[in-house]
Structure 1
Amino acid sequence: MTRIALVTGANQGLGFALVRGLAARLAPEDLVLLTGRDTGRVTAAAARVTADPATRSRVEGRVLDVSDPAAVARLAGELGAVDIVLSNAIGPLDPGRPQAEQADVFLDVANGGTHAVLRSFGPVLRAGGRLIVVASSLGALGHLPEALRPRFDGVPLDDVEKAVEDWRSAIHDGTARERGWPEWINAPSKVAQVAAVRAVAAGRREADVAAGTLVAAVCPGLVDTRASRPWFSDFSQAQTPDEAARAVLDLVFAGLDPATYGELVRFGRVLPWHSGAPAA
């Protein structure tokens, strides 16, 4: 049977490395879809993977804006069934600009995109498949102030989406700080991503575990990419995108460990949901 894998945010960085790794590990009859918002970049990136001597499977570029839920739903409907979905798209974030000015684009991609992928591709995921959201260790609930944690803890996806939109409104009306939201928008965004995964996983855990299917979030660790460069001064311990992709793909291709189902996983180990502490 032909397997279909899809990666979002795959023009460059970790997403591109994930496509390369999938194309090297899957069989010649399988298909890897490299997706992104820009037609030219998608086409060029797919051509680069196809020309790579390590590539074994078929690779196709598809234009997909994950911030458009209707577009995500259309692609899921067109494919009908998928085996591997890696939700990796992330919005741009510039430390030189006020984060409130960047919140809409960032949240639309990082959180709206995550929600759209979970809603549209979860139902078409084949038994034994993998639906993985790339997040970070900041996605542990303890990184939020205690008063905000109930908004994301053990709640359905609709409630996670509502919390994100309430936070967005607070950013725009200038009340986010007094309501306890961290100034760095990446932290609550990652918590919301993991909460969304947990919300979806809670409703399908029994059937998925029985079928060997995995729905989870993953922390790839510090990766040296164009997006991360402005935020960190020391990259001596950072991974290349290919190195980071290897650990993610090891999880994808390993047999199902039920302990990882619905959890945030870093280098094969579960990061406890209630771990972490709010940043100073």
Structure 2
Amino acid sequence: MATKVAVVTGSNKGIGFAIVRGLCKRFDGVVYLTSRDIGRGKQALADLEKEGLHPKYHQLDVTDKQSLEKFRDYMKSKYSGIDVLVNNAAIAFSNDAPEPVSVQAEQTLFVNYFSLLSTCDILFPLLKNGARVVNLSSALGHLSFIPSKALRDRFKDEKLTISELSSLMQQYVDAAKQGTQVAEWGNSSYVVSKAGVTALSKIQQRLLNDRDIKVNSVHPGYVDTDMTSHKGPLTIDEGASAPLYLALDAPDSVRGQYVWHNSKIVNWESEKLEESI
């Protein structure tokens, strides 16, 4: 019988690390911890081994196509495919970051949306029938944070394609470079990037329905991590709870959904976040 395989991107620390920990405890197969920096990845591996857990490690930089292709080729040569893919790798600028909005927009969208899309383009052909994909979104990825109704309607369009969504993401970056983004898009590149991740997840689900592959996006909660400057009240293991639910426990009927940290399905398209939770 073929070995089952789970992969978590950006998992040397924070929520990704806790997702690997949870998978190691419960997933009936091999779990891959991945990181851009090999030294940090190996240290994370050692930390889990001290807990009696035994993930495998492979270097993976989701912003580097060559790194993604090398990882894909390794997985193809060693296994029959991937059963669980958790797209966790992401960045966020702090509120007092000195970088201009134009730089923050380009870098945030590049990592959080375009690199996640590249990861999926390269690794999705390895997904087995019945596989589960979990894309890490955010409460801030709720559609109500996009001010323009016309834009919200575009995001909600059930005929929206990935190329059209990518074009929307690029339009935001271009507007940010021109300083004209606030009225329609708001003032947070992170919001736009995570709205893009949630919209992408819904499109991906439509494209993969015939293969019984489940794709969902998830808000893990406000977690005590480097990304939140350690302001979040939840532990990383609490933040891993909903992603692990989608990876291991959710009914097969949960697909193309936007799921909250309490594992509740939330209406991503509602006019107000409060109305949907």
> TM-score interval w.r.t. the shorter chain?
0.7 to 0.9
Cα distance per residue 1:243-263 (max 9 Å; x no partner): 2212321222115341x2011
Question: Does structure 1 conserve the Cα–Cα contact (< 8 Å) formed by 2:101 and 2:176?
Answer: no
Q: Which residue of 2 aligns with 1:10?
A: 11
Over 3 Å counting, the alpha-carbon distance change for 1:276 and 1:66 in structure 2 is farther
Over 3 Å counting, the alpha-carbon distance change for 1:73 and 1:152 in structure 2 is farther
Does residue 226 of structure 1 match 2:226? yes
Question: Does structure 1 conserve the Cα–Cα contact (< 8 Å) formed by 2:6 and 2:85?
Answer: yes
Shift of 1:272: 1.1
Q: Which residue of 2 aligns with 1:47?
A: 46
Q: Which residue of 2 aligns with 1:199?
A: 203
Does residue 20 of structure 1 match 2:21? yes
Q: Which residue of 2 aligns with 1:133?
A: 135
Cα distance per residue 1:169-197 (max 9 Å; x no partner): 1111222225x111011111111001111
Question: 2:216, 2:72 → 1: CA distance?
Answer: 19
Q: Which residue of 2 aligns with 1:189?
A: 193
Question: Does structure 2 conserve the Cα–Cα contact (< 8 Å) formed by 1:82 and 1:125?
Answer: yes
Question: Does structure 2 conserve the Cα–Cα contact (< 8 Å) formed by 1:214 and 1:256?
Answer: no
TM-score (norm 1): 0.86
Q: Which residue of 1 aligns with 2:255?
A: 261
Question: Does structure 1 conserve the Cα–Cα contact (< 8 Å) formed by 2:137 and 2:218?
Answer: yes
Question: Does structure 2 conserve the Cα–Cα contact (< 8 Å) formed by 1:218 and 1:265?
Answer: yes
Question: 1:185, 1:276 → 2: CA distance?
Answer: 20
Q: Percent identity?
A: 29
Unaligned runs of 5+ in 2: none
Question: Does structure 2 conserve the Cα–Cα contact (< 8 Å) formed by 1:89 and 1:113?
Answer: no
SS in 1 for 2:129: strand
- Count residues with an aligned counterpart: 263
Does residue 271 of structure 1 match 2:275? no
Counterparts of 1:1-280 in structure 2 under 5 Å?
1-27=2-28, 30-53=29-52, 55=53, 58-80=54-76, 81-97=81-97, 98-145=100-147, 146-153=149-156, 154=158, 155-178=160-183, 180-208=184-212, 213-229=213-229, 232=231, 235=232, 238-258=233-253, 260-266=254-260, 267-277=262-272
Question: 2:241, 2:250 → 1: CA distance?
Answer: 16
Cα distance per residue 1:221-240 (max 9 Å; x no partner): 1111121127x5xx4xx210
Question: 2:210, 2:143 → 1: CA distance?
Answer: 24
Q: CA RMSD in A?
A: 2.1
Runs of 4+ in 1 over 6 A off after TM superposition: none
Question: Does structure 1 conserve the Cα–Cα contact (< 8 Å) formed by 2:130 and 2:211?
Answer: no
Question: Does structure 1 conserve the Cα–Cα contact (< 8 Å) formed by 2:18 and 2:240?
Answer: yes
Shift of 1:103: 2.3
Question: 2:66, 2:206 → 1: CA distance?
Answer: 24
Question: Does structure 1 conserve the Cα–Cα contact (< 8 Å) formed by 2:58 and 2:71?
Answer: no
Unaligned runs of 5+ in 1: none
SS in 2 for 1:162: helix
Question: Does structure 2 conserve the Cα–Cα contact (< 8 Å) formed by 1:197 and 1:216?
Answer: yes
SS in 2 for 1:223: coil
Question: Does structure 1 conserve the Cα–Cα contact (< 8 Å) formed by 2:220 and 2:241?
Answer: no
